Amino acid sequence: MKAFRGGTRPNLIGGLFGWIWLLIAVVPIYYIIVTSLRTQADYYVENPLSLPSDPTLAAYFQVFANDFWTYFLNSVIVTVATVSVILVVAFMAAYVIVRSRTAFSSRIFSLFLLGIAIPIQATIVPVYYLIVQLGLYDTLWALILPSVAFAIPISVLILTNFLRDVPRELFESMKVDGATDWQMLWRLAAPMCRPALVTVAIYDALNVWNGFLFPLVLTQSADKRVLPLSLWNFQGAFSSNTPAILAAVVLSALPLIVAYAFGRRQMVAGLTAGVGK
């Protein structure tokens, strides 16, 4: 950049595109929120981008009255169980890959990387057949197990890159003091890899929470539905009630927004681990 009065020349074009991108991201969110606070009658007569003349939570109460809490609880159970298993399995696998440094661990790491290239859509038929043969069809386990399997490869990659940045001298000093691998894993590696663990937790929780294909194919009962599938159901039930549909969208997105707001800094640190090397 050229000097501009003792400083740097302002990037006007970049700033302009930044504001344009901000509008592209914010306007749909604003539209969803303000529309969910309208009545159906006001939705047809008011400007869609104006503030509601008579804000109301009627659309939210209507969503609550249509088994929303059942779908919400199912999503919480599936997401928490899936992310918990992923964190434990992927973290232990990443620890072995980084610490052992053998030809076998390198091949295992290559297999994990190969799993990233396999799309879920290409395996839905064998996954469906396997779930049916295991007797897990139309259960929450039918959503948890495949979600764990498809999330582990990318989780291992993130955790492995972060663990490689932990100085080996710290592990060696603990080993000299008589610590076992299990103690080094949970007392040293886990605290130092907290940003990466938060990254994996938020990233996988986002994918599991918004997952639609597995719930659509592997469940059919109303009491086993999760929020993404229930939004589809709400769209059919409230086909002429746009505020109710958007109220359901707001309620389904709110938990992840809160989780990202609290963990965004550690998430960025985990995703950028090893970039400067």
Over residues 75-98, the pLDDT tens digits come to 999 999 999 999 999 999 999 888
The DSSP 8-state label assigned to residue 222 in this structure reads G
Distances (CA, A) of 72 to 43, 122, 209, 224, 225: 27, 28, 10, 10, 9
Q: Give the separation between CA 58 and CA 61, rounded to whole angstroms.
A: 5
Spatial separation of the C-alpha atoms in residues 28 and 54, rounded to whole Å? 21
In 116-255, beta strands by DSSP E? none
What is the pLDDT, as a whole number, of residue 274? 46
Q: Cα 93–210–129 angle (5° rounding)? A: 70
- Measure the CA–CA gap between 225 and 220, rounded to whole angstroms: 8
Looking at the DSSP assignment, which residues form a beta bridge with residue 8? 3
d(CA 115, CA 113): 5
The position carrying tokens 């386990």 is 141
**pTM of the shown model:** 0.82
pLDDT at 193: 86
* Dist. CA 77–CA 221, nearest whole Å: 16
DSSP 8-state secondary structure symbol assigned to residue 179 = -
- State both tokens at 206: 């986002």
All structural domains of the chain, each given as residue ranges with its CATH number in brackets, are: 88-226+255-273 (1.10.3720.10)
Rounded CA-CA distance 272/189 in Å is 18
> Which is higher by pLDDT, 17 or 139?
139
Dump pLDDT digits (tens) for 2-32.
444 555 677 788 888 888 988 888 888 899 9
Average pLDDT over residues 260-275: 61
Give the model's pLDDT for residue 118: 86
272: pLDDT strictly greater than 60: no
Length of the chain: 277
